[in-house]
Amino acid sequence: MMSSLSVLEEERKKLNEIGCKSLENGVPLFQNEALQAQSRRVDLLNVQQHKRVGLKQRLS
């Protein structure tokens, strides 16, 4: 099983790849639905990670 940080890094890489391909094809980033969906996924994973770190800090 991958750690949450590994999953986040993988999803960030996917986001970057989608963004680069979009720019290469002349598609504005805000019009690329795949990029927007991936960005939301990365945002969600970031929030989850911050909540985990915050919870661990409060419990220590």
Please check the confidence at residue 57 and state whether its pLDDT lies above 80: no
6-13: list long-range contacts, CB under 8 Å, 24+ apart: 7/45, 8/42, 8/45, 8/46, 8/49, 11/38, 11/41, 11/42, 11/45, 12/42
Of all residues in the chain, the percent with pLDDT exceeding 90 is 73
pLDDT tens digits, one per residue of 28-55: 999 999 999 999 999 999 999 988 888 7
pTM: 0.84
Q: What is the pLDDT of residue 1?
A: 62
